[in-house]
Amino acid sequence: MKKCIILVIACLMASITFAQEQIQTMDDAARIALSAYMDPSSSIPNNAKKTLKDRMQKIITKNGMGSAKNTRFIMTANVRELNLEKSETAPVIYIYNLEVNLYIGDGIDGTLFSSCSLEVKAAGDSKDKAYMAALKKIKASDSQYQIFINEGKKKIVDYYTAKCDFIITQAQTKAKNQDFDAAIAELMQVPDVCKECYDKCMAAAQPIYQEKINQEGAKLLAEARGVWSAGQDVAAAEAAAAILAQVNPQSSAFAGAESLNAEMAKRVKELDKREWDFMLKQQQDEVDLEKASIKAIRDIGVAYGENQQPTTYNVVWW
């Protein structure tokens, strides 16, 4: 009987470990992304803001969500000083008792999704040290965050389900205005745990991505032709080839790039009797092409979000 109990416990522990490892290794595209955010106008000390933001980022990733910048959905916090004690000893010791309130919500329209509260207490030989020591007691591994995180996650999934068609329409409008990266980023904000909406957005992103690489390829081809036409020598061929190397093989301009490359190869051979050995990027098979396109689309979405100015959030009343 004792061996059976031990075996059951071992199996349970293995399952928990496996689940934690799955959370930690989950593909970023499957995660619902949150930005850890601290209101710059908050009255807590600046170094405490940094510590609290770091703790929130750890809570986010530890609980299977993606930590990212400039996302619509955020985790934020405020701190209330419940009590400050001061010892009668020398040196003086300060003891802070703080209430930390954590929130998840839509930072753009100001809708609060979930919240939780905890108390932390610590001592230090200065007020700042006591304050910081108290905040450092916030542990990402505490189980108390699970309900808080799950409630916020459910509300975010509900948002994507309800707003999916609107997200696609917004992206298509941006694409019509030639803002292809913003359009793709709009669609790639949807994680693939929201499968139906994710699939719709990925399908909508493909033609936008194709139009982006078509236009970029056409510009590069025109630039390369201009460089070649101006020189018509080996140096011009090398300069034009460096430009052609940037043309995506899936671009509608790629056939023109191959034609120009062949023209330059012929001319170089006529000039100095040597073979032109510059090779353009190669076309990929359909399986590799699909994988490459999906990766390129995701990378565009991530890069666009990372390079934006910090988002202004509406969380004053939380």
Q: pTM for this one?
A: 0.78
CA–CA distance, 197 with 161 (Å, rounded to integer): 6
CA–CA distance, 285 with 198 (Å, rounded to integer): 25
Q: In CATH, what class is 27-160?
A: alpha beta
What is the phi/psi pair of residue 114, to 5°?
Answer: -155, 160
pLDDT of the chain along its 318 residues, tens only? 434 433 333 433 334 343 344 334 345 556 788 999 998 888 888 889 999 999 999 999 999 888 788 889 999 999 999 999 999 888 999 999 999 999 999 999 999 999 999 999 999 999 999 999 999 999 998 988 999 999 999 999 999 999 999 999 999 999 999 999 999 999 999 998 899 999 999 999 999 999 999 999 999 999 999 999 999 998 999 999 999 999 999 999 999 999 999 999 988 888 776 666 666 666 555 557 788 899 999 999 989 988 888 888 988 778
The CATH 3.30.160.150 domain(s) of the chain lie at 27-160
Q: Can you state the percent helix, strand and coil of the chain, rounding each to 5?
A: 55, 15, 30
